[in-house]
Structures are given as structure tokens and as C-alpha cells.
Amino acid sequence: MPKIGRSLPVLLTENEVLQLIKAPNTKKPLGFRDRTMLELLYATGLRVSELVKLEVKQVKLNQGYLRVMGKGDKERLVPKGQYS
């Protein structure tokens, strides 16, 4: 039997994404954190759950990737974006 009742997610336009990323006040520590998190989500395609579990030791800035524990506790390497 076909699955019923599952709808597709609503996508944001590029302009809406840019407005969202620019919204936090980066002159304050929490605003800077929020901006960084939004940029990482947008640039890497991380799930929110993966982002909030991310530890400093998993961020490999010099190598240009993040070591992420994804669904089912599977580890994957995610290239970080140029600006994130």
C-alpha cells in the first residue's frame, strides 16, 4: 500500500536564507554563536541534531572538514564551506 499523508518540506528562498543568517547580532557572543551555527547548517547540510552534538575536537579547520556522528551513530566527514 502507498504511504499516505507525508508532505514535502517547505524550502526557503535564497533571499530568505540570507535574511535568516544575517539576523543574529554578531556584536554579542550569543549572536555570533547563532550566526556561526546558521552558516554551518547552510554551508554543510548538517542536521540540527548533528550540529548540537558537534564537539570542538571534531572540527578540523586546517583539513577543511567536520567529523560528524550522524543517524545510527555512523561517522561521516563533512567538508566545511568556504565561509563557514
pLDDT tens digits along 33-54 = 999 999 999 988 899 999 999 9
For the chain, what are the domain ranges?
14-79
Check the CA dihedral 19-12-56-59 and report its sign. negative
- Which residues are paired to 65 by β-bridges? 60, 79
Rounded CA gap, 55 and 67, in Å?
9
Angle at 30 between CA 28 and CA 33, to 5 degrees: 110
State the DSSP H helix or E strand holding residue 65, giving kind and residue range, or none if neither.
strand 65-69
Q: pTM of this prediction?
A: 0.76
Q: What pLDDT sits at residue 37?
A: 92
What are the pLDDT digits (tens) for 56-65? 999 888 888 8
Report the DSSP beta bridge partners of residue 77. Answer: 67
